[in-house]
Structure 1
Amino acid sequence: MTIRAVVKGVGHYLPERVVPNSWFEDKIETSNEWIVSRSGIERRHFAAEGQTTSDLATQAAKSALENAGIDAADIDAIVLATSTADLTFPSAATMVQHNIGATKAFAFDLQAVCAGFVFALTNANALIQAGSAKRVIVIGAETFSRILDWEDRATCVLFGDGAGAVILEAEEASGTSDDRGILATDLNSDGSYRDLLYVDGGVSTQTTGVLRMEGKEVFRHAVEKLAQTAHKSLETAGLSSDDVDWVVPHQANIRIIQSTAKKLGVGMDKVIVTVQDHGNTSAASIPLALSVGAFEGRIKQGDLIVTEAIGGGLAWGSVLLRW
């Protein structure tokens, strides 16, 4: 008997405030045309004053629970991927656990920056396969607007705030690639590239810090490593890019998305793209895109989906799943 972690529900939440590219034009030397041509981003959402990452995550979790028709009291675990938790501790996941009334769930945060949701899915899958949990809410949530340098035009225009969530449930399956659920995962890290993407502050330095990025180098690594990790997950499952119904990538930059799809041999008509509306929401970007794709009726039960992401660390990985 094989146990698979099957998606039972999906949901997302975006703050009410929508920030178009034009908002930046009287603050830094930039334009809508400049931002769109380099990133594909047209708008993003920013959290309201006092609105925290756990607030966004709570709303996404509630949306996923409603979509799944599952009561929060029946959730066994909550895994929240974020780099912008409300507090140093306790975890934002425990705040979500309390907010939604998941009284029997254990909860923890996981930090792998933009790759966080892929890492969180992989960990949730392991919990389910080990028998430690039957139902897990996996959330990606960020308030990156809190850690941007508003004078750095190369980075401050790229990021937004939001949250997405999926609910995984253990199901018995045949053990073949036709099963629903997570079929394969691949995780990677290389700390020698730390200086390419990081926040220049933290608890032990007693500073908050802001995001710093070497854009050209991150781009180069992203295209190579994202295609590589996606191929690895497909190979593990005994499948190929020809079998893929949808690629749901980390929504960082339209040029990265296009280049990675080309390397995978997948047409853009099979790629879920939301970067134009959300910007880069880091760990939230894949679950946001999954939720949007599902609610729009594009992602359907039985579809084979590959997700891939790369973030600071560098950390990167992929998850192959059948919806």
Structure 2
Amino acid sequence: MNIKITGTGSYIPANIEKNEEFFNNEFLNSDGSTINAPNEVIVKKFKAITGIEERRYAKKHLNTSDIASFAAEKAIEDAKINREDLDYIIVAHNYGDIRHDSIQSDTVPSIASRVKHLLRIKNPKCVAYDILFGCPGWVEATIQANAFIKSGIAKKCLVIGAETLSRMIDPHDRDSMIYSDGAGAVVLESTNDEGGIITHNTATYAFDEAHFIYFGETYKQETNEDRRYIKMYGRKIYEFALTNVPLAMKSALDKSGIDIKDVKKILIHQANEKMDEAIVKRFYELYNLEMPEGIMPMSIGKLGNSSVATIPTLYNMILKGALENQEINKGDVIIFASVGAGMNINAIVYKQ
């Protein structure tokens, strides 16, 4: 028995927010002081570091559960299964449903229960639950689904990553330009086909690193509002990721027994283009090799960082021929890898 992804789907919001849209923002330092540079320079430097030139925001009437259900519908259709046969629906997210212009996150009922409701699934044996694991949430949910199927308690699982980060950003923080909205989904099944999930690896670093990504106040200190926004210590995250993600990927690959030269693609969480390139280069350096050209498909330039949605969306885009000069073929070995709040790291070695 092999556990494979038999269907994929994604939802990329229609609203495009280009870098130029931030020219009128009042960007401030973390202490509330004015940044001594015009916004055009700030945005240009941001693009050079992250690779992001535009990102997608969900329309005002749509919430995380809505766009999660859109991606799920496509994955179910792609897998050609009866939705009533699903044993689990696992939804990775971080902030729940945040209605436009609301300061509250709504997670009761769970996002997974809302998705099951929107999919109109009647079967009570289809268990729906959420996972909060930072940006690596979709990868970890996939690992959990794999365990359920491997143990025999499930045959089919729907795993979704969805987020509306545009509703959690401080307009006075330069990092707000990183984040975006989106959803990606897959169906996993036990099959007799070759390949599937071969090995995986997960770690949580919380002794000193737990609060590298956190909930914080706006940088505009005179603002009188009791609201929190997604914040991060970018330099600490960069150094942490560069040290630890390559090791997690190596651990998973070495456990698989597959030669690194047989890896065709690395689908890494799209957080920062330069950081991702540095991680994958460091990974190959661990084997005394240079990073192969085209090994790391990127979507961040047009889609931004949609957290848990980035990897399943990227995977779906490649399989459907929506990413130029990128393809994944049957028998290809790929690695999924992510890092994020917690601080959590994980990786999966997968054979298409």
Do these two structures clear the TM 0.5 threshold for a shared fold by scoring above it? yes
Q: Structure 1: where are the runs of 5+ without partners?
A: 174-178, 202-206
- The Cα of 1:102 is off from its aligned counterpart by 2.9
TM-score normalised per structure 2: 0.85
Distance in 1, Cα, partners of 2:12 & 2:227: 24
Q: Which residue of 2 aligns with 1:129?
A: 150
Bigger Cα displacement from structure 2, 83-92 vs 159-168: 83-92
- Match for 2:248 among 213, 229, 235? 229
The higher radius of gyration belongs to: 2
> SS of the counterpart of 1:107?
strand
- The Cα of 1:208 is off from its aligned counterpart by 5.2
CA contact (8 A) 1:231 1:240 kept: no
2:318 partner letter: G
Q: Which residue of 1 aligns with 2:21?
A: 23
TM-score normalised per structure 1: 0.92
Q: Which residue of 2 aligns with 1:322?
A: 351
Distance in 1, Cα, partners of 2:256 & 2:26: 47
Q: Structure 2: where are the runs of 5+ without partners?
A: 28-38, 98-105, 218-225, 285-290
1:95 partner letter: R
Equivalences for 1:251-270 in 2 at 5 Å?
Answer: 251-265=270-284, 266-270=291-295
Deviations 1:115-135 (A, max 9, x none): 111111110101111112111
- The Cα of 1:33 is off from its aligned counterpart by 2.0
CA contact (8 A) 1:73 1:102 kept: yes
Q: Which residue of 2 aligns with 1:197?
A: 213
Equivalences for 1:49-68 in 2 at 5 Å?
Answer: 49-68=60-79
1:283 aligns with 2:308: yes
CA contact (8 A) 1:78 1:136 kept: yes
RMSD across aligned positions (CA): 1.5
> SS of the counterpart of 2:152?
coil
> SS of the counterpart of 2:5?
strand
Q: Which residue of 2 aligns with 1:176?
A: none
- The Cα of 1:103 is off from its aligned counterpart by 2.6
> SS of the counterpart of 2:176?
coil
Richer in helix (by share): 1
CA contact (8 A) 1:12 1:59 kept: yes
- The Cα of 1:271 is off from its aligned counterpart by 1.2
Q: Which residue of 1 aligns with 2:102?
A: none
- The Cα of 1:74 is off from its aligned counterpart by 2.1
Equivalences for 1:1-323 in 2 at 5 Å?
Answer: 3-29=1-27, 30-31=39-40, 32-86=43-97, 87-104=106-123, 105-153=126-174, 155-172=175-192, 179-192=194-207, 193-200=209-216, 209-265=228-284, 266-296=291-321, 298-323=327-352
> SS of the counterpart of 2:211?
helix
- The Cα of 1:64 is off from its aligned counterpart by 0.9
- The Cα of 1:38 is off from its aligned counterpart by 1.2
Deviations 1:47-78 (A, max 9, x none): 12231100110000011112222221222211
